[in-house]
Amino acid sequence: MTNFPDHVVAYRAAGTVTKDEYEAVVMARVDEVAARYGKINFIVFLETGMENYSLTAFVDYLKISFKHFSKWNRMAIVSDQRWLRMAYEALSPLVHGEIRCYPLDDFQTAKEWVSAPLPAD
């Protein structure tokens, strides 16, 4: 996705998400933002369900999450799958940073929240 500040990793997932796509689009950008800013704001617009992530893409998702565990700042999960939003909200107290979940219709609100400046150290 475009029109986000440089410190935001933003992507849209639709259909099936493969390992190669996840590595090329998401992991590379997360690594870039983490190296450049030391903190990561992240938004995903999910027009697909987690069941459409290949197993290897899901494993990559877990790897990148733990690799940069202390660098997560704000994560916006935008999905119409209520169970997915509830799962992320339940995980929020266990991860570094803050997770907020939004339905697809609230994308603009999610975009504004995740686009906030990074905190100064």
Domain for residue 121, yes or no?
Answer: no
Range of the domain at 109: 8-114
Residues 13-63 have pLDDT tens digits of 877 777 788 778 888 899 999 999 999 999 989 886 666 555 555 555 656
Domain for residue 31, yes or no?
Answer: yes
Domain for residue 43, yes or no?
Answer: yes
Burial 46-84 (b: 16+ CB within 10 A, else e): bebebeebeeebeebbeebeeebeebbbbbbbbbebeee
- How many domains in the chain? 1
- The answer to whether 80 touches 107, Cβ cutoff 8 Å, is no
Which whole number is the average pLDDT over 69-87?
82
**Mean pLDDT for all residues in the chain:** 81
Domain for residue 20, yes or no?
Answer: yes
Domain for residue 2, yes or no?
Answer: no
Domain for residue 119, yes or no?
Answer: no
- pTM for the full model? 0.81
Domain for residue 94, yes or no?
Answer: yes
Query: Which neighbouring-strand residues pair with 101?
Result: 77
Domain for residue 83, yes or no?
Answer: yes
CA distance 56 to 23: 10
